[in-house]
């Protein structure tokens, strides 16, 4: 698999029509690359922008090993040796109750504003901000009797924050932005991005204000950010506020994704402001007032691809900012790359005719780019595994840490539909539909690589290799995930492709199907008319022809199970540990939102508790695993706009 592109030309773009045709093409077993996803086989246009050959690297080859084996060990190095000289020691006298801290005693460290160039102005007037990574700005959302409605003890634990702090009467004031948090240095980040494949220029934190970084007792760095706390210079024509509807969705999904085991930003708390915000949810000229809210998001970093793109796009002296920002990211978030040495011999042939070699130990920026590509590929593979659709995979919504970030119109698959998109603004072309996510991940990596090439940090060969690694890493992880989901130790392409085809034809519930599949017994003697009994609850309203198709598949599946030699009990336990029973379906979110807008937040809290144990049976909570009711398909529940 090889990629070729010129840094002087755009990388590649997918038109709406081409995406639609790829996303909705017939589901044929011969479809290349990703099962039922658009092919990664992109061929060069006449301008020679980018090409990927139809053959992927052999997983057993040295290039497929890449930095994985070395980086996995290096990643485990403690941040202590790198950060200890730059941060204050934790003061034991300030600790309370088993090392837990009050809000006043949190250990702040403002490396981002200390080490990177900032805006000389600190007002929130919408404007272009040049030669700066951030603007210092204070939260400005109006509040009236703000209330804490949901919180996460596990996120508090990351910060060494005493959970009793949630009981403070001034807690809602501090986390709505109405009252300053001691030690915080609030700022909004400057970034740009490609939106729906088109360069949009400066975007930035238009309604998110970062309070700063907390160093916990493990010397892990965690940024706290208030979303919906008021205007910033990057708000453009918006008000910088957020409504309860979108805030509940972000709060619940960031936590639900974490407990599914998927890398994500987290959420410390959700606070209502007591004020109303006007929103036109469907952009149809019918705005309405909605309750306002603020979410405190938590992440090791909110740097995204667009954080680098904006400076590269401006050229000149701003190219130096790209390098400074890359150095900052590597120093604080990828210290194992800083510590790589020639002794690791991370050199790989690119496969070109001239036998060119990419040596990742000779250029830390190349090693960094490869790791970002692999983290992103692994993340997308995990999304596909649980049926999660992000909805807005613009480059400004892509984390350099490989985290799920910026929850807007997201959705989990109910009926399996590769063309599913939760974003009404994406309906014409379905650029960001479920099936397209792997290709869009690659497209975004290509834009990021182009940015680093523009700043002369990596070569075209190194960029090509990073994208090659994306493809190989995605396929490795995706195939491993699908094998685990069906309870097999080895990937069976034909079996999996036929399964996904059947799921798509009959619109089978994605989550419930894989959970039910664990009930199949590895017994070839089961009569044909009884084979589908364990799947009866998920194979609804299928006719005779489709029953025959499913029976044939189950027979082939049982043969594979018998060959594996794993007991039914062991396989069921293994499958249920990777196939969740509970996911955050849109209708569940909507039920919680409907109650919350009437002042009842119990369903939000109850739903959070269920999503904290997605793989457990949870007696008396079975209703949260049910198929969506008829009302769930009304506009505004399963198809959502970005308005929040």
Active-site positions? 396
Write the burial class of residue 104 (CB in 10 Å: 0-12 exposed, 13-18 middle, 19+ buried): exposed
The DSSP code sequence of 480-543 is HHHHHHTT-SS--HHHHHHHHHHHHHHT-BHHHHHHHHTT--S-TTS-GGGTTGGGTTTS-S--
**99: number of Cβ within 10 Å:** 12
43, two tokens = 């061929």
User: What strand order describes the sheet that includes 187-189?
Assistant: 134-136, 187-189, 208-215, 221-227, 288-299, 266-279, 147-151
CA gap 490, 474 in Å, rounded: 16
CA gap 67, 371 in Å, rounded: 7
CA gap 547, 306 in Å, rounded: 49
CA gap 563, 522 in Å, rounded: 9
CA gap 643, 146 in Å, rounded: 22
CA gap 139, 240 in Å, rounded: 10
> What's the gap between Cα 216 and its chain centre?
24
What values do phi and psi take at 190, rounded to 5?
Answer: -95, 125
* 373 within 8 A of 466, measured Cβ to Cβ: yes
Determine the 3-state secondary structure of 398 from DSSP.
coil
What are the C-alpha distances in Å from 605 to residues 32, 476, 580, 592, 618?
Answer: 44, 37, 19, 9, 16
CA gap 614, 617 in Å, rounded: 8
CA gap 243, 272 in Å, rounded: 9
Per-residue b/e over 47-63, b at no fewer than 16 CB within 10 Å?
Answer: eebbbbeeebbeeeeeb
553, two tokens = 């598949």
Q: Select from 200, 188, 240, 641 the least CA-distant residue to 394.
A: 200
- Residue 320 CB partners (closer than 8 Å, separation 6+): none
CA gap 560, 324 in Å, rounded: 53
The secondary structure element, H or E, covering residue 477 is: helix 460-485
CA gap 289, 367 in Å, rounded: 49
265, two tokens = 């930003």
Determine the 3-state secondary structure of 65 from DSSP.
helix
């Amino acid at each position: 698999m090889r990629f070729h592109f010129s840094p002087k030309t755009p990388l590649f773009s997918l038109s709406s029509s081409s995406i639609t045709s790829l996303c909705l093409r017939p589901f044929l077993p011969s479809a290349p690359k990703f099962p039922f996803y658009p092919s990664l086989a992109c061929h060069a246009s006449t301008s020679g922008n980018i090409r990927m050959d139809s053959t992927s690297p052999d997983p057993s080859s040295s290039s497929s090993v890449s930095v994985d084996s070395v980086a996995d060990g290096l990643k485990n190095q403690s941040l202590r040796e790198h950060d200890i000289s730059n941060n204050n020691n934790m003061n034991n006298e300030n600790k309370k109750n088993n090392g837990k801290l009050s809000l006043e005693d949190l250990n702040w460290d403002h490396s981002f504003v200390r080490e990177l160039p900032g805006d000389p102005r600190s007002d929130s007037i919408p404007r272009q901000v040049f030669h700066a990574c951030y603007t210092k700005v204070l939260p400005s959302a109006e509040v009236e009797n703000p209330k804490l409605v949901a919180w996460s003890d596990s996120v508090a634990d990351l910060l060494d924050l005493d959970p009793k702090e949630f009981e403070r009467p001034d807690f809602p004031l501090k986390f709505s932005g109405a009252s300053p948090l001691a030690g915080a240095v609030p700022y909004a980040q400057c970034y740009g991005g490609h939106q729906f494949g088109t360069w949009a220029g400066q975007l930035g934190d238009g309604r998110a204000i970062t309070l700063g970084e907390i160093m916990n007792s493990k010397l892990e760095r965690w940024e706290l950010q208030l979303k919906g706390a008021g205007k910033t210079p990057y708000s453009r024509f918006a008000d910088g506020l957020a409504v309860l509807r979108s805030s509940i969705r972000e709060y619940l999904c960031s936590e639900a994704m974490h407990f599914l085991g998927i890398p994500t930003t987290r959420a410390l708390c959700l606070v209502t402001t007591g004020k109303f915000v006007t929103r036109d949810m469907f952009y149809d000229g019918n705005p309405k007032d909605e309750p306002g809210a603020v979410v405190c998001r938590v992440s090791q970093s909110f740097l995204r691809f667009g954080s680098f793109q904006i400076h590269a796009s401006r050229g000149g002296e701003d190219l130096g900012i790209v390098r400074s920002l890359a150095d900052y990211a590597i120093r604080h978030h990828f210290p194992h790359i800083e510590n790589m040495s020639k002794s690791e011999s991370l050199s790989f042939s690119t496969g070109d005719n001239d036998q060119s070699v990419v040596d990742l130990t000779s250029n830390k920026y190349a090693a960094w780019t490869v790791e970002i590509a692999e983290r992103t590929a692994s993340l997308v593979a995990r999304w596909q595994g649980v049926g999660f659709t992000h909805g807005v995979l613009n480059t400004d919504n892509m984390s350099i840490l490989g985290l799920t970030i910026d929850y807007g119109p997201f959705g989990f698959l109910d009926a399996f539909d590769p063309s599913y998109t939760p974003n009404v603004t994406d309906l014409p072309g379905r650029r960001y539909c479920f099936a397209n996510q792997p290709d869009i991940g690659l497209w975004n990596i290509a834009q990021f690589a182009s940015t680093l090439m523009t700043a002369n940090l990596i070569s075209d060969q190194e960029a090509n290799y990073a994208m090659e690694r994306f493809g190989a890493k995605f396929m490795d992880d995706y195939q491993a995930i699908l094998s685990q989901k069906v309870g097999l130790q080895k990937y069976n392409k034909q079996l999996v492709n036929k399964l996904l085809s059947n799921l798509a034809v009959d619109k089978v519930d994605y989550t419930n199907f894989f959970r039910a599949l664990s009930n199949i017994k590895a017994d070839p003697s089961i009569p044909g008319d009884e084979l589908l009994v364990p799947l009866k609850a998920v194979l609804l309203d299928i006719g005779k022809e489709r029953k025959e198709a499913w029976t044939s598949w189950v027979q082939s599946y049982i043969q594979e199970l018998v060959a594996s030699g794993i007991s039914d009990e062991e396989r069921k336990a293994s499958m249920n540990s990777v196939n969740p029973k509970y996911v955050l379906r849109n209708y569940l979110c909507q039920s919680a939102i409907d109650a919350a807008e009437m002042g009842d937040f119990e369903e939000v809290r109850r739903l959070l508790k269920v999503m904290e144990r997605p793989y457990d049976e949870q007696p008396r909570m079975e209703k949260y695993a049910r198929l969506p009711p008829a009302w769930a398909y009304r506009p505004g529940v399963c198809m959502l706009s970005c308005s929040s």
